[in-house]
A and B are shown apart, each in its own frame.
Chain A
Amino acid sequence: MLSRPVKFAGNLIGSMSILVFAVGYSLAQCAADSPAAIREQVDGVFNRSLAAMETKVQPGNVTTSTWVPPSQSEKSVIDCLGVAAIPFIAAHLNSKASFGQILAIRMLGWVGTSEIVPPLAEVLNSSASQTAKTNALEALYNAPQADAMQVLSRVSRLDPNPYVRNKASEVLRRYSTANAPQPQSQ
């Protein structure tokens, strides 16, 4: 059996309040009808997700950021906003915060339309982070195959990082597996 910390028990009431707030927030805010409102929601998702990763640690009260996956409720907000959120998410690709770029990449992957391809292609061109690139490749897989294939193919051949090239090849292979008939499964 796993021994799990149980400190969260005391925060149950507070946590439930936050959960209710988050769900209500996302449902209410999805009806955003102006660029400013959309930006506000995108920024909200981005900032809350990064904030969830932050802690202070001693000595020195150092700010740390541990990668924690964004929650389903935050993803739901972006799912709801859809393609309109892309420009505002893309703006965060230049985030200077730890994990900011990776978070923005994942948010683009949630949208998964053709419009995510150019900004992700730019990340693959310019990012110094291996993780950012591999996350971008995965996000690209959510875009329509016809749009993503060219970028994936190029990265699989030309990226200077062999790890990234291999990852791109792996994602490309996934297309053929996914398209192949499944002989026995029904």
Chain B
Amino acid sequence: MTFRTIAVVLVGTLCLSLAAAAELVRAGSQSKQPVAQRADGGFWRTDQGFKSELVLTNVVKTESVVVTPVLYLALGTRYQLAPVTLPPLGVARVSINDALADAPAALRSHLADLGSVSIEYIGRWQYVMASVNALDVGRSLVFTSRLSSANSRFTSVQESVRHNKLVVNEGVWWRHDPDVDGFVALMNTTASEKTVRLAIFPSPSSDMQTGASGLVTNGGHNSEFRVAPHATELVDLGLALFDKSAVAGGVTISYMGDASDVRVSGGLENPRIGYSSRIPFLARPETPDTENFMSAAVGLMRGTPDPMMMFPDGTVFTPYGVVRNIGLNTASVTPAINYMVNGQTITKQLPPLSLAPNEAVVLDLNNELQRLGLGNYSGSINLVVGSTAKFGEILFTAGSVDKTGTYVFEVSCNALRKSSKILFGEWNIADGNDTMISVWNPTNIDEDVVLHLYHDADELQFPIHLPKGTSTMVNASQIIMESRKSNSGVAPLTAQYGSAVLSGKSSENVMIGVSYGIYNVKTATCRNLCGACNVYTAFEINYFPPLQVGGQLGLTATAMFQDGSSKDETFSPTTWSSSNTSVATNSGHTFTGVAAGYFWATATAQLESGNCDDLNKYCTYLPPQSTSAGGVVQVPTYFGPTGADPLNATGMGCATGAGGEGFTVHYQVLDQNGNAMAVSGMTPQERVYINGVVQGPPYWNAFGIPRTTPSDGKFDDDPIGTCFGPPNPSQMVCNSVTQAFQVVFNNVTYPIQTEVSRTDCNTGIQAVISGNPTAYNKTFQQGSY
């Protein structure tokens, strides 16, 4: 495994073969191979006036991707649609209503007015963000269902490991008005029937219990559904059965299997007034988080909206917030609001709450604003909720709704964490749509971010300067209109939709709160888009050459991200270590060779991971990720002959009339493992014995051509051979010559194991090179000897 190699595992491999070690050195530069990717769980419906549309966004800026959408009809029948090619950063829409209308005859008898959609494609990681928008214009209802990767986070399908465990998804419902009811769609993504327990209960509720089936029950409505393979079960919440005084409550969905086996999508609606809202769900974490919950809903609208947003006169918004404790203990919850008056940021604490397990409350923000003397405040507020409970134990959702209930702006509640990029998937200003982004700088330093609007190869960048503590809101239509007016020299975007990314000014990490949505005043619909983190897809130490004793190398580490970008993670806060300090030590990323041998260099960095599905806590940096690469410290040990060119007496430089033959021998300096040392500055020296008599003193003399090696570590011995005469004797005459070697490098003398035994004759020559690894023991000969 190339990535995230754990040092502990590697310690045991230190005794691996030389070849394997060399392979591991190279492994650091490998990248993920393309594999089958899948995302599923998009709930679509075409009943009543609903029109469903699949929106696909390629978040990768370097590669196109071909996506195959697959519809699963209510009873599980598979209907594969035509592939869609998405260019880099491209967006495509697929009308599900049209696809159903064009369904092949063989499928006609299976057609249904609801189901799920999945997407399939080949990619090295998750390239595609996808969601289904189910829009009923006539009734002003809209529900968005986001597809989730069929495996955990960003790993490939093949890498995922299926579990058979209790999976619990927790949701929260609330009543905007007494007539609100809701639904939950249960989508079985597997080829097996799944038994799913659904519990719907008002707050407060009796304690949760684990029933005989192992699934969760409680004091509300409890139902069990057997969902056929790939089928979708649409369940009416039946909120009308609860007492009208219950304004909020919980939905618990549980089953045995893997977290991706059953996808859940839910909504609250009052079609009579055009109210619709999504039910947020959160999968209970297998292990409790260690960090206290802290989340912000940014850009809640209060009062009369900005005229730029083109809402009808008289539209007045009221913010709402809903919190549910899904932990096992009572949680203290501390809400606060943050807003701006005359350019000044003001923060007010709201009364703390104590929530029993399963308890859900609707925060009465309007009343609190009145109490704070902000009864007439019109503008944007940020709602921050902290708790003694941990992430994964609190469900928090918020938004704004107008007094008629028809305009509902949901807001993604997100943890305030540093992030280099947030991928929104879509911007849209077509057909009365507009795209709104609200950003808040909760820090005490100024932040600079850039909103990137893409359409295929075109890009419009909109910089946003956020002084400390301030908030602002911008619309895509406004940005594009201004860009068309300006004379920046950059071609303005002419498209009506595309993909959008929010980043730090220079892709550096920034800490901001953000909400993002596409709304349509005409149809009175608003789709909140949950920004996805630009998660890392690989983290690796870049290839580095062998070290030499006393030599230093600055290693580098690179993280690759979902959008195809990469980032140098060499420096702090990345930490570095050496597995074997007797071979190589390190100071930061600089490694120094100490002695011949192998070592593992390990880099540990905090990298962005997580995604929108981790409601309330995405773009996290947990835990630190490590990657290792094998290294070797070389010492010169052999002179490996790579060839020899014959010389006659004249070519060798003998006097006219002399006899003799010779060679130019080409050498490569080899290390202790027989691997080439491509290093400059090594001075080969030899000691020569002629007929058993050592030549000298001094006995060791530099003989290489060139005298010190160039960067390839190669040199010639030019010439080897003996001149006889003149005159050249008429009979064969020979000298026995032996060459022994050493090499001086970095002022250290290393013995060389190679030896040359020669028979130099006036009629020929033989040179036997021995003492090397077998492949480098060679004999060169010509003529008679």
Binding site for B on A (CB under 8 A): 2, 4-5, 7-8, 15-16, 18-19, 52-53, 55, 57-60, 62-73, 96-102, 128-132, 134-135, 138, 141, 163, 174, 177-178, 184-186
Contact between A71 and B544, CB atoms less than 8 A apart: no
User: Which residues on the A side are within 8 Å of B30 (C-beta)?
Assistant: none
Contact between B654 and A99, CB atoms less than 8 A apart: yes
A-B pairs, top 9 by smallest CB distance, nearest first, are A98-B723, A69-B703, A66-B722, A5-B692, A130-B651, A8-B694, A69-B701, A98-B655, A102-B653
Residue B590 is within 8 A (CB to CB) of chain A in the complex: yes
Interface residues of B in 404-433 (CB under 8 A from A): none
B695 CB to nearest A CB, Å: 5
User: Which residues on the A side are within 8 Å of B731 (C-beta)?
Assistant: 59-60
Contact between B691 and A67, CB atoms less than 8 A apart: no
Cross-interface CB contact of B645 among A64, A138, A163, cutoff 8 Å: A163
**With A57-B735, A70-B701 as contacts: A98 and B658 at CB distance below 8 Å:** yes
User: When A and B form their complex, what is the total count of cross-chain residue pairs whose Cβ atoms lie within 8 Å?
Assistant: 158
A-B contact pairs, 28 of them (CB 8 A): A4-B689, A5-B689, A8-B696, A16-B697, A62-B729, A63-B725, A64-B660, A64-B724, A66-B760, A67-B719, A69-B701, A69-B702, A71-B696, A72-B701, A98-B723, A99-B653, A99-B654, A99-B723, A100-B655, A102-B653, A102-B719, A131-B651, A131-B664, A134-B716, A177-B710, A177-B711, A184-B544, A184-B545
Cross-interface CB contact of A130 among B553, B647, B688, cutoff 8 Å: B647
A143 CB to nearest B CB, Å: 13
In the bound complex, what is the Cα–Cα distance between A174 and B712 (angstroms)?
Answer: 9
Interface residues of B in 641-684 (CB under 8 A from A): 645, 647, 650-656, 658, 660, 662, 664, 680
**With A70-B701, A73-B698 as contacts: A129 and B652 at CB distance below 8 Å:** yes
Q: Closest residue to A14 on the B side, CB-wise?
A: B697
User: Which residues on the B side are within 8 Å of A129 (C-beta)?
Assistant: 650-653
In the bound complex, what is the Cα–Cα distance between A4 and B742 (angstroms)?
Answer: 14
Contact between A5 and B698, CB atoms less than 8 A apart: no
User: Which residues on the A side are within 8 Å of B733 (C-beta)?
Assistant: 57-60, 62, 64
Q: Please indicate which of the listed interface residues A8, A67, A72, A185 has the most CB atoms of chain B within 10 Å of its own CB.
A: A67
Residue B463 is within 8 A (CB to CB) of chain A in the complex: no
Q: Closest residue to B760 on the A side, CB-wise?
A: A66
Cross-interface CB contact of B693 among A5, A58, A70, A102, cutoff 8 Å: A5
In the bound complex, what is the Cα–Cα distance between A53 and B724 (angstroms)?
Answer: 12
Q: Closest residue to A58 on the B side, CB-wise?
A: B733
Contact between B706 and A67, CB atoms less than 8 A apart: no
Q: Closest residue to B728 on the A side, CB-wise?
A: A62
Residue B771 is within 8 A (CB to CB) of chain A in the complex: yes
Add 11 more A-B contacts to A68-B695, A128-B651 (CB < 8 A): A2-B740, A16-B697, A55-B691, A55-B693, A64-B724, A72-B702, A101-B653, A130-B647, A130-B651, A184-B556, A186-B553
B538-554 interface bits toward A, Cβ cutoff 8 Å, 1 = contact, 0 = none: 00000011000001111
Contact between B724 and A62, CB atoms less than 8 A apart: yes
Residue B705 is within 8 A (CB to CB) of chain A in the complex: yes
Residue B67 is within 8 A (CB to CB) of chain A in the complex: no
Contact between B689 and A18, CB atoms less than 8 A apart: no
Q: Please indicate which of the listed interface residues A53, A66, A130 has the most CB atoms of chain B within 10 Å of its own CB.
A: A66
Residue B434 is within 8 A (CB to CB) of chain A in the complex: no
In the bound complex, what is the Cα–Cα distance between A13 and B185 (angstroms)?
Answer: 100
**With A66-B735, A102-B719 as contacts: A186 and B698 at CB distance below 8 Å:** no
Q: Closest residue to A174 on the B side, CB-wise?
A: B710
Binding site for A on B (CB under 8 A): 544-545, 551-556, 590, 645, 647, 650-656, 658, 660, 662, 664, 680, 686, 688-699, 701-703, 705-706, 710-712, 716, 718-725, 729, 731, 733-735, 737-738, 740, 755, 760, 762, 771
Q: Closest residue to B704 on the A side, CB-wise?
A: A69
Cross-interface CB contact of B686 among A69, A97, A102, A131, cutoff 8 Å: A69
Q: Please indicate which of the listed interface residues A55, A64, A129, A130 has the most CB atoms of chain B within 10 Å of its own CB.
A: A64
In the bound complex, what is the Cα–Cα distance between A102 and B735 (angstroms)?
Answer: 21
User: Which residues on the B side are within 8 Å of A62 (C-beta)?
Assistant: 724-725, 729, 733, 762
Q: Closest residue to A109 on the B side, CB-wise?
A: B707
Q: Closest residue to B650 on the A side, CB-wise?
A: A128
A139 CB to nearest B CB, Å: 9
Contact between A19 and B701, CB atoms less than 8 A apart: no
In the bound complex, what is the Cα–Cα distance between A114 and B644 (angstroms)?
Answer: 32
In the bound complex, what is the Cα–Cα distance between A138 and B760 (angstroms)?
Answer: 25
Contact between B545 and A134, CB atoms less than 8 A apart: no
User: Which residues on the A side are within 8 Å of B701 (C-beta)?
Assistant: 68-72
User: Which residues on the B side are within 8 Å of A53 (C-beta)?
Assistant: 695
Contact between A131 and B719, CB atoms less than 8 A apart: yes
User: Which residues on the A side are within 8 Å of B738 (C-beta)?
Assistant: 4-5
In the bound complex, what is the Cα–Cα distance between A168 and B699 (angstroms)?
Answer: 31
In the bound complex, what is the Cα–Cα distance between A174 and B724 (angstroms)?
Answer: 35
Contact between B655 and A178, CB atoms less than 8 A apart: no
Contact between A2 and B771, CB atoms less than 8 A apart: yes
Contact between A65 and B771, CB atoms less than 8 A apart: no
B316 CB to nearest A CB, Å: 62
Contact between B722 and A8, CB atoms less than 8 A apart: no
User: Which residues on the A side are within 8 Å of B755 (C-beta)?
Assistant: 2
Cross-interface CB contact of B721 among A2, A67, A97, A130, cutoff 8 Å: A67
In the bound complex, what is the Cα–Cα distance between A50 and B660 (angstroms)?
Answer: 17
**With A130-B647, A184-B554 as contacts: A66 and B737 at CB distance below 8 Å:** yes
Contact between A57 and B691, CB atoms less than 8 A apart: yes
In the bound complex, what is the Cα–Cα distance between A64 and B721 (angstroms)?
Answer: 10
**With A60-B733, A185-B551 as contacts: A65 and B723 at CB distance below 8 Å:** yes
In the bound complex, what is the Cα–Cα distance between A71 and B695 (angstroms)?
Answer: 10
A56 CB to nearest B CB, Å: 10
Cross-interface CB contact of A64 among B590, B705, B723, cutoff 8 Å: B723
A71 CB to nearest B CB, Å: 5
**With A7-B694, A72-B701, A186-B590 as contacts: A65 and B654 at CB distance below 8 Å:** yes
Contact between A141 and B721, CB atoms less than 8 A apart: no
B555 CB to nearest A CB, Å: 8
A89 CB to nearest B CB, Å: 16
User: Which residues on the B side are within 8 Å of A141 (C-beta)?
Assistant: 706
In the bound complex, what is the Cα–Cα distance between A36 and B655 (angstroms)?
Answer: 27
Contact between A65 and B706, CB atoms less than 8 A apart: no
In the bound complex, what is the Cα–Cα distance between A68 and B738 (angstroms)?
Answer: 11
**With A2-B771, A7-B694, A131-B653 as contacts: A65 and B551 at CB distance below 8 Å:** no
In the bound complex, what is the Cα–Cα distance between A4 and B693 (angstroms)?
Answer: 10
B166 CB to nearest A CB, Å: 51
A140 CB to nearest B CB, Å: 11
A134 CB to nearest B CB, Å: 6
User: Which residues on the A side are within 8 Å of B702 (C-beta)?
Assistant: 69, 72
B724 CB to nearest A CB, Å: 5
User: Which residues on the A side are within 8 Å of B556 (C-beta)?
Assistant: 184
Cross-interface CB contact of A55 among B544, B554, B690, B720, cutoff 8 Å: B690
Q: Closest residue to B702 on the A side, CB-wise?
A: A69
In the bound complex, what is the Cα–Cα distance between A8 and B680 (angstroms)?
Answer: 33
Q: Closest residue to B691 on the A side, CB-wise?
A: A55
A164 CB to nearest B CB, Å: 10
**With A134-B716, A138-B705 as contacts: A15 and B554 at CB distance below 8 Å:** no
Contact between B654 and A98, CB atoms less than 8 A apart: yes
Q: Closest residue to A65 on the B side, CB-wise?
A: B723
Contact between B552 and A134, CB atoms less than 8 A apart: no
A47 CB to nearest B CB, Å: 15
User: Which residues on the B side are within 8 Å of A2 (C-beta)?
Assistant: 740, 755, 771
In the bound complex, what is the Cα–Cα distance between A19 and B697 (angstroms)?
Answer: 6
User: Which residues on the A side are within 8 Å of B555 (C-beta)?
Assistant: 184
Contact between A55 and B735, CB atoms less than 8 A apart: yes
User: Which residues on the B side are within 8 Å of A73 (C-beta)?
Assistant: 698
User: Which residues on the B side are within 8 Å of A68 (C-beta)?
Assistant: 688, 690, 695, 701
Contact between A135 and B760, CB atoms less than 8 A apart: no
Q: Closest residue to B701 on the A side, CB-wise?
A: A69
B692 CB to nearest A CB, Å: 4
User: Which residues on the B side are within 8 Å of A132 (C-beta)?
Assistant: 653
Contact between A66 and B552, CB atoms less than 8 A apart: no
In the bound complex, what is the Cα–Cα distance between A71 and B696 (angstroms)?
Answer: 8
Cross-interface CB contact of A135 among B660, B718, B723, cutoff 8 Å: B718
